[in-house]
Amino acid sequence: MQHDEVIWQVIRHNHCSYMAKIETGNFCRNPYNVTGICNRSSCPLANSRYATIREDKGVFYLYMKTIERSHMPDKLWERLKLPKNYEKALEIINNNMMYWPKYLVHKTKQRLTKMTQMRIRMRKLALKTRETVMTMPRKVGKREKRREEKSLQAAQLEKNIEKELMERLKAGLYGDIYNYHEKAFNNIIETEEALKKGKKVVDDKDDDDDEGEEKEAEVEYVYLEGDEFEMEDDMEDFGLDGSFEDDDTGNDDNDDDEDTSDRKRSRKESGVVVEKREKKDTHAKLKRKTRVHVEVENDAGERRTGVH
């Protein structure tokens, strides 16, 4: 037979695993305790007739214990579900605990009010958007950043996107929606065709440079026959054609003979040979030394000319 006073004396003065002693007082950690305080009237172990309220997945239940079921531990507590409406829940407590001690009924109703207020606050906080501060270790951040860079390099997203866009443009998926550069598009198509055939395609800039080089290579300097006669006329105007009679006249005659012979040969030879011959003549003329004509007048009035 259960004796509540004996159980309380043993629990209070010897040992209780649910007791928590603090400077402010002694508290009870038993989940069936209606107040959470360790005393004779609130102890669920030392009272054979006891009632409390517990929550299970957001639903409140009224737990009641009677001395008639003390010999059946598996059926010791009777559970009764309470509705969400606070007034209806109070009515159920009053009906089921009509002849119970008033102190226990009051504490049970007080526990119900506190738990309903707690549930209302929880719903309000759940609806509010609250900022959560999360700590991120520096080493983890650096490691993740390195992994992202490596993955981007391995994926080659830009090249894959460019290939996909070019395939869509070739297929005519976009039509005339986008204004893209036709020349660049044609160059890309030509490069792809050249890669398939094993050829190399040169860019427009290289083509322009080659054209400029070809134009420079086409420029040629040609010696005309009429220029010699014009030079001779100029020499005659200055009086340098043959009026000087000195020791060097033989050399001038030889030069004139060479020029005339060269002129005859140039008429007979082909155009290519003429150009080569003229280049050699121009080099030979440049190598020749320039002659200086000197005039000397005596006291008698005689003039003498000479070439040095």
- Reported as a single tens digit per residue, the pLDDT across 280-306 is 666 665 555 555 556 666 666 666 666
Give the C-alpha separation, 23 to 172, whole Å: 84
**pLDDT exceeds 70 at position 6:** yes
Which pLDDT value is given to residue 234?
Answer: 53
Q: Per-residue pLDDT tens for 225-234?
A: 544 545 555 5
**pLDDT exceeds 60 at position 43:** yes
The proportion of the chain whose per-residue pLDDT surpasses 70, expressed as a percent, equals 61
Across 3-12, 47-56, 137-146, 165-174, least confident range: 165-174
Fill in the amino acid letter for 255: D
Q: Per-residue pLDDT tens for 276-286?
A: 667 766 666 55
Predicted TM-score (pTM) of the model is 0.43
Q: Are strands 59-65 and 77-81 parallel, antiparallel or unpaired?
A: antiparallel
Which range in 6-15, 102-111, 206-215 is most confidently predicted, on average pLDDT?
102-111
